[in-house]
Chains A and B, each alone.
Chain A
Amino acid sequence: MENLAKTIGYALISLFVITNYGLVLNGIVRKIIARVHGRLGPPVWQPYLDIIKTYGKRTVISHGIMFLLGPIFRLAGGVGTYLFIPAIFGSEIFSNFSFSGDLLLVMYFIFFGQLGMALGSGEGGHPYSAIAVGRGLSQMTAFEFPFSLSVIALAIQYHTLSITDIVAAQQGGILHWTLFTNPFAVIAGVISMLGMNMYSPFDIVIAPQEIPIGPPTEMQSGLLGMLQTNRGVFNAAKLVLFMNLYFGGATNIFSMIAKTFSIYMISVIVGVAFPRFRTEQSIRFFLKVPLVIAVLAVIYVSVL
């Protein structure tokens, strides 16, 4: 019983830290993009103000029970993704529930959030939501190809699917990282991360000038607040996953922050420099070179 309370307490602390980290990261990135554009940007704590304002709306419109469940699924997907990844290797507070889950479960949770959102948006009845949901799911299917092949390559290389063991195998110096032992898998994984983070050139799903903001078109008030909170947790969770798989994991909180920030900057730098792909162009992109690199990664570790 005491163990249970301690575990739940640690999980809540860990979730709290990662949510704040995700929101502040969002704010910092907006500030950096603004400085690149030559202007002052919004203050770093702007995501908090947006969330407080959205939760403080006095009315909410519902289109049925599935519509209300959509953002709940999304938030559940985000929280679930995070809680099965060890954030800091060796720390008691931040190991989360990684003993009971493994890599495939985390991949499932990444997909689960988007699917729940799709069902909720479809119930809203807005035609633009339906278009965006179609785009989002087809793009997600496309980038899952190189990502899953890269994960399979890692599983073959380290003979395990548990993320804690993968991180443990990368300890002991910078040359033990997957970046240097299996570069093909890392390249394929990072390219599919660009698709996952939905910055340009893969941001057609949330394209604000084309269709009003994509799947969350009809979401307002508290429902939108849940989606915004999820944006903090989910982004940070994905970054922590990539850090653990490819870049050696983290043994203390400062190296975790430094590594995840650098990984996110890859996405942002590509995002500010490129225009947008259409859906069929992005699907074709993922099924060409990244898929070949991922297959090469699998062959590389099976042969060696």
Chain B
Amino acid sequence: MKTLIDELKKKYELKKFTQQNEFTCFVTVSKKHAVPFITHLRDVENFTHLSLVTAVDRIEEDLFQITYILHNYQLKMDLGVRVFINRNEPVMESIHHLWKQAATYQRELKEMFGIDFPGSPGVDESLFLEGWDNIPPMRRDFDTRKYVSETYFPRKGRKTHDPATYMRNKLYPTENSQ
């Protein structure tokens, strides 16, 4: 795999390469080379299976990271392609022309993160959250607990039976009063 990446590094400006374990590697590519790189992987290098499209909210660096995980049936290896896009204008090119199921993944990302994929069929339709009018809920600046305590009716008297605290209070009861 490393040889493959070295071959393509010059052409597509690949950056950080990490080998996660025996079967999985990750590589970073810039936004403008992302879709040509993925097309090259699918057509030439036999990474014909799209496993997953997901996103990570890197709020400290003001970026969204979109990860495409592709699988190669000949080498039996996974390759994760990381793309960083600007968090304030989250728009990414769509890959629904390569794999039809990417349209559903992109719909989910639009709903949960707010990342737009112009041209993807049905990307504006809601998948799970019908009539959602808040910010996309998977972003890290969405306060879930506050939203839940305002919208739904939490029942008071909720206790947690965390084993560590329970055993600590049982074995050292004098510390409990502190």
User: Do A and B touch each other in the complex, judged by CB within 8 A?
Assistant: no
Q: Report B's interface with A, CB cutoff 8 A.
A: none
